[in-house]
């Protein structure tokens, strides 16, 4: 129960999504009639996008989506990039307002941002960065959210309201990261940039200032601020606008152990937010507070109700897989943008270099005649070509040290490498037993040298059996068979590699023991199943894999034994008839987060 309690504590985040959508209302839009049959024309697309924008502002996105998708297809057909970007942005907003996974709107926003960037459309760039920042904040990617909000300020937009909104959202992000001085600075900048007559925005700023004090643990101060906001704006703002106030008051009273008040305000926030996509974050705040308050006073039925509601809400919008996909898409977009920039810079350097060569050639033609000129020119050309060839080989070798050959080739040809699904991959994990004890007996240099010796041997083994090294994590080694190019014997080769690794470690331990030196012992685990593989990161990027198969393989290693190779039922079923191996059933073993799993030890028959 303590685990669930701490899990819920971490979900006390809230974000005023609806105020972001409110900024769209500044656009001048007019309703347009739509004929029964869609006519693809420039005027039709412009009118439909304006009409859809008005529907979005009126929260009628259900009826807006079909019309917008037709407008998008027409804009693409006509080659109208700006209209295409506007349609993608509005589709992203519609998807974002739904209670669902955030990877779908992320993809739409990134596609829109790329088009606006190519068009150098400042307003469009700002709006895309705003939506991406809010989305990442919503799934707790605070550092990524800050990058997007700072992008808005870096565009030098003259829209003071938008700058105020960026400073306000930066304040919320810094508050959640416990950087309270930066948060207060951003709040002050936001107040200065927003007109005093904007009651809704000022209510939001004061509400989240109260939330910031709650984050700092100054809950009495938080209650004081939030109750003052209620009194100040009681006559000027509708009850729905007080959803964040009620949610944050509930949280503050919860921390003060005022459980009745926490429940009172939590229910108000819950009722005002339920079923409203733009208020999802306030709903999450209220559910977390209500669960803890009811739990504290012993009303377990009510506590369980709000806990289940909270888990359902979070699973629908920000599960680990969704966060992973959002992060991957953002990382791939940034990586592709950097590659384009580097390519443009290289093309400029190449053009300058070519002009310089032409100039030198002209000078030489004036100074030398006949055969001498041809000889010198051939020498210079050969030297340059050799140098370029050497540099290219050096770059290729460096890339192959980081990525599999097929992925590196795709990256060079296309400027990007798409993530792929693999149906059957065998994941191998190793982990040294007694690593901490050995490190106490060895110097830092000896410890690193011993680990490196083992990992170099493992590198040779995975190369011998044609499987792929994925990465090392401390004293753990991870490899996979069956990717990036699936092979017929990948499962068998992965097991053979694991047995070879155990043989090497066992032999080395015996040698060290004879000399009175400490050495490692090792567990190895293997599981086979589907994974997703691709490139992650922009700086120091790497080829990595994800999926439940990876987690299960790790559990195989955790529940193995020293000197043995532990495999799952999925791997066993694929190899059980292979005469090269013998198998020892271990029965069902309880594995953390997986329940009971059938496991086998595998050995070479000969």
Most confident listed range (237-241, 297-301, 527-531): 527-531
239, part of any domain: yes
pLDDT at 502 over 90: yes
205, part of any domain: yes
Q: Which of 270, 285, 320 is the last residue of a domain?
A: 320
305 and 360, same domain (yes or no) = no
88, part of any domain: no
Confidence band of 577 (pLDDT split at 50, 70, 90): very high
DSSP-derived letter for residue 416 is S
Confidence band of 338 (pLDDT split at 50, 70, 90): low
Contact 13, 284 (CB under 8 A): yes
Confidence band of 38 (pLDDT split at 50, 70, 90): low
DSSP string, 82-125: HHHHHHHHHHHHHHHHSSS-SHHHHHHHHHHHHHHHHHT-HHHH
457, part of any domain: yes
Give percent above pLDDT 90 in the chain: 27
425 and 573, same domain (yes or no) = yes
513 and 489, same domain (yes or no) = yes
pLDDT at 17: 44
557, part of any domain: yes
Q: Which domain holds residue 377?
A: 338-411
Average pLDDT over residues 500-529: 93
pLDDT at 259: 92
b/e string for 459-469 if b means 16 or more Cβ within 10 A? Answer: eebbeebebbb
CA 327 – CA 523 distance, rounded (Å): 32
432 and 580, same domain (yes or no) = yes
CA 285 – CA 270 distance, rounded (Å): 9
303, part of any domain: yes
424 and 391, same domain (yes or no) = no
Confidence band of 94 (pLDDT split at 50, 70, 90): confident
CATH number at residue 240: 1.25.40.10
The separation between CA 69 and the C-alpha centre of its own chain, rounded to angstroms, equals 27
Over residues 367-405, the pLDDT tens digits come to: 776 666 666 766 676 667 766 666 666 655 555 556 666
281 and 400, same domain (yes or no) = no
498 and 588, same domain (yes or no) = yes
Q: Which of 320, 346, 363 is the last residue of a domain?
A: 320
CA distances from 262 to 241, 249, 250 (A): 19, 7, 4
pLDDT averaged over every residue in the chain: 80
73, part of any domain: no
434 and 536, same domain (yes or no) = yes
- Say which residues have a Cβ less than 8 Å from residue 227's Cβ, sequence separation at least 6: 249
Which range has the worst mean pLDDT, 42-46, 258-262, 321-325, 436-440?
A: 321-325
451 and 513, same domain (yes or no) = yes
pLDDT at 260 over 80: yes
pLDDT at 35 over 60: no
493 and 457, same domain (yes or no) = yes
pLDDT at 276 over 50: yes
Provide the domain count of the chain. Answer: 3
Give percent above pLDDT 70 in the chain: 76
396 and 424, same domain (yes or no) = no
- Report the predicted TM-score, pTM, of the whole model to 2 decimal places: 0.44
Residue with tokens 């308050």: 293
pLDDT at 13 over 50: no
What are the beta bridge partners of residue 421?
532
pLDDT at 157: 72
Between 548 and 53, name the one with better pLDDT.
Answer: 548
447 and 581, same domain (yes or no) = yes
Confidence band of 567 (pLDDT split at 50, 70, 90): very high
CATH number at residue 522: 3.30.70.1230
DSSP-derived letter for residue 277 is G
179, part of any domain: no
Q: Which of 288, 320, 352 is the last residue of a domain?
A: 320
Which range has the worst mean pLDDT, 179-188, 411-420, 592-601?
A: 411-420
């Amino acid at each position: 129960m303590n685990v669930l309690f701490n899990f819920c504590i971490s979900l006390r985040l809230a974000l005023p999504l609806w105020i972001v959508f409110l900024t769209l209302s500044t656009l001048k839009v007019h309703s347009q009639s739509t004929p029964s049959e869609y006519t693809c024309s420039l005027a039709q697309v412009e009118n439909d996008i304006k009409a859809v924008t008005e529907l979005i502002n009126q929260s009628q996105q259900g009826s807006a989506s079909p019309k917008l998708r037709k407008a998008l297809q027409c804009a693409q057909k006509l080659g109208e990039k700006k209209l295409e970007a506007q349609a993608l942005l509005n589709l992203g907003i519609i998807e974002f307002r739904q209670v669902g996974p955030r990877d779908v709107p992320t993809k739409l926003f990134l596609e829109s941002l790329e088009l606006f960037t190519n068009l150098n459309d400042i307003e469009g760039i700002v709006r895309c960065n705003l939506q991406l920042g809010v989305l990442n904040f919503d799934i707790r990617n605070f550092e990524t959210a800050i990058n997007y909000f700072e992008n808005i300020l870096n565009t030098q937009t003259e829209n003071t309201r938008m700058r105020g909104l960026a400073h306000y959202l930066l304040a919320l992000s810094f508050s959640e990261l416990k950087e309270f001085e930066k948060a207060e600075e951003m709040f002050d900048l936001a107040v200065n940039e927003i007109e005093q007559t904007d009651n809704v925005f000022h209510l939001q700023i004061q509400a989240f200032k109260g939330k910031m004090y709650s984050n700092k643990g100054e809950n009495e101060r938080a209650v004081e601020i939030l109750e003052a906001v209620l009194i100040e704006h009681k006559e000027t703002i509708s009850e729905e606008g007080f959803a964040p106030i009620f949610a944050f008051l509930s949280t503050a009273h919860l921390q003060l152990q005022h459980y009745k008040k926490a429940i009172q305000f939590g229910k108000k926030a819950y009722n005002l937010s339920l079923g409203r996509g733009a208020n999802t974050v306030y709903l999450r705040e209220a559910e977390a507070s209500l669960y803890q308050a009811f739990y504290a006073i012993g009303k377990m039925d009510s506590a369980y109700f709000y806990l289940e509601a909270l888990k359902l809400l979070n699973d629908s919008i920000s599960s680990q897989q969704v966060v992973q996909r959002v992060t991957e898409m953002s990382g791939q977009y940034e990586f592709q943008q950097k590659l384009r920039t580097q390519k443009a810079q290289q093309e400029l350097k190449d053009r300058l270099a070519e002009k310089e060569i032409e100039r030198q050639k002209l000078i030489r033609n004036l100074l030398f005649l006949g055969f001498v000129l041809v000889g010198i020119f051939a020498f210079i050309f050969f030297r340059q070509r050799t140098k370029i060839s050497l540099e290219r080989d050096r770059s290729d070798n460096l890339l192959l040290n980081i990525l599999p050959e097929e992925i590196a080739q795709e990256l060079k040809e296309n400027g990007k490498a798409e993530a792929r699904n693999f149906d059957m991959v065998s994941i191998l994990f190793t982990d040294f037993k007694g690593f901490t004890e050995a490190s106490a007996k060895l110097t830092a240099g000896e410890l690193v040298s011993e680990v490196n010796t083992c990992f170099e041997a493992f590198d040779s083994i995975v190369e011998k059996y044609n499987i792929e090294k994925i990465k090392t994590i401390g004293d753990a080694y991870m490899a996979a068979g069956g990717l990036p190019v699936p092979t017929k014997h990948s499962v068998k080769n992965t097991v053979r590699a694991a047995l070879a690794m155990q043989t090497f470690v066992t032999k080395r331990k015996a040698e060290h023991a004879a000399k009175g030196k400490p050495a490692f012992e090792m567990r190895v685990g293997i599981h086979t199943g589907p994974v997703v593989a691709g490139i992650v990161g922009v700086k120091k990027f790497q080829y990595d894999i994800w999926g439940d198969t990876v987690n299960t393989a790790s559990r195989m290693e955790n529940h193995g034994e020293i000197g043995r190779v532990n495999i799952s039922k999925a791997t066993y079923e694929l190899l059980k008839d292979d005469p090269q191996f013998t198998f020892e059933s271990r029965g069902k073993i309880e594995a953390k987060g997986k329940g009971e799993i059938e496991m086998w030890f595998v050995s070479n028959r000969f």
